[in-house]
Structure 1
Amino acid sequence: MPEGDTVWLTARRLHTALAGRLLTRSDLRVPRLATADLTGREVLDVTPRGKHLLTRIEGGLTLHSHLRMDGAWHVYAPDERWRGGPAHQIRAILATTAHTAVGYRLPVLDLIRTSDEHSVVGHLGPDLLGPDWDFEEAVRRVCADPARPLGEALLDQRNLAGIGNVFKCELAFLARVTPWLPVGDLPAGVPERLVATAHRLLEDNKERFERRTTPSSRPDQKLYVYGRKHQPCYRCGTPIRWDDRHDRISYWCPGCQKGPGPEAAVAG
């Protein structure tokens, strides 16, 4: 599931493959961009912003993409077989003499003026992996609505840019509270620790596609709660519970995490 760490690594790989080179092929397979041709233009850089990818191209253009749940960019050598999915899932092809970048299942693909990038990323909060990361502002935004459930506050990209559902569940576990606890009910100091931990976890994971939040090196113990329905908690042995009645599935340990359950969100 693409989150800020995955997007950061994807951007780096795209930048390494494309930046500083002229495009020899440009194929944008969405109706509104069907006539757009970027062939012959130089790729200037590929920059991540939260969960957004900004591919800046000569002539003041930016190809904006967002991976959401299952989108992906793959980079191939000229003679390498494409393995990212069937051809009908391809939404974008950007090729140079050295590499071909193929975007699969991209739910968002826009070609905008670079000067208008604010129109697609200007609403985002502090970027957990950005050069302008602002810890104090991030804490302020997360705590701005004391009645809001913690999970919602963490997922809101206007508060923190880069957290997705996996990190939401893992962060709530590490804070020993449920995702439905109102932010205002967090013990003193916990909001600051949560934001600091979010920053650390994304930094720790940005160099790899295999996400890990536990200290264990075992391949079957990468995450504390996410995706571990009915399995015993590593700390207390209580079976992990899950809830899928809302937009995002939540996993939590009722033994370790204190606070209301998902019924609080239903009642609200």
Structure 2
Amino acid sequence: MTSIDIRGLTKRYGPVRALDDLTVTIEPGRVTGFLGPNGAGKTTTMRVVLGLDRPTSGTALVGGRPYATLPDPLRHVGALLDASAAHPARTARDHLLTLALTHRIPAARVDRLLEETGLASAARRRVRTFSLGMRQRLGLAAALLGDPPVVLLDEPTNGLDPEGIVHLRNLTRRLADEGRTVLISSHLMGEIARVADHLVVLGQGRLLADAPLDRFTASHASLEDAYFALTTPFADHAAPEGRRP
């Protein structure tokens, strides 16, 4: 059972404070929906957890360790942050096989995930021919390649057709039911309402809510209503996500 533990996390880009003393724990065994206006700090948080950005102060640990110190990190954390990360000239299978070989993962796992994500018939096609939805499926397959206990997904439904969205919904539910830690950032309130057990909401880099879904929505007609009631004061003054020094 592996949690993500964030303590006093602050990240500045020049004068902009993308994260402001953020403290939260993402627990195993549930799907945590990660919400907030554009620029609230969601992607920055995930990048810091994955060691892609260094925090100005504070810590982000996976199973009590910084990501950079994890042996065979793909076996510990799976992440989908950018659907265009795969080399466009490689085939889908070659992309996954390269990742597998560098982490001592059997090739049979590659073929299983191509089947599971609906890409088996496109395994020999080059990634540059893929639609956005197919790239998302490939990114999801890469995230799950090492059978990790922690999965981070940033806007994973982008480009997916209805069948793909339902598959993703069922998959994330299964992963959580197996005891894994699942963190999903999304702007699709309907999907988060369907799959999430718990919500973490950011605004201007600060923690606005950390609560079970039912408690968060208890006094509102819907998740969307509860979300806007909480975040509207922060939406017009958000720091730009992804800004680099």
Q: TM-score range by the shorter chain?
A: under 0.3
State TM-score, norm by structure 1: 0.25
Q: Which has the higher contact order (CA 8 A, sep 6+)?
A: 2
Instruction: Return the structure number with greater helix share.
Output: 2
Greater Cα radius of gyration, structure 1 or 2: 1
Q: Greater strand percent: which structure? A: 2
TM-score (norm 2): 0.26
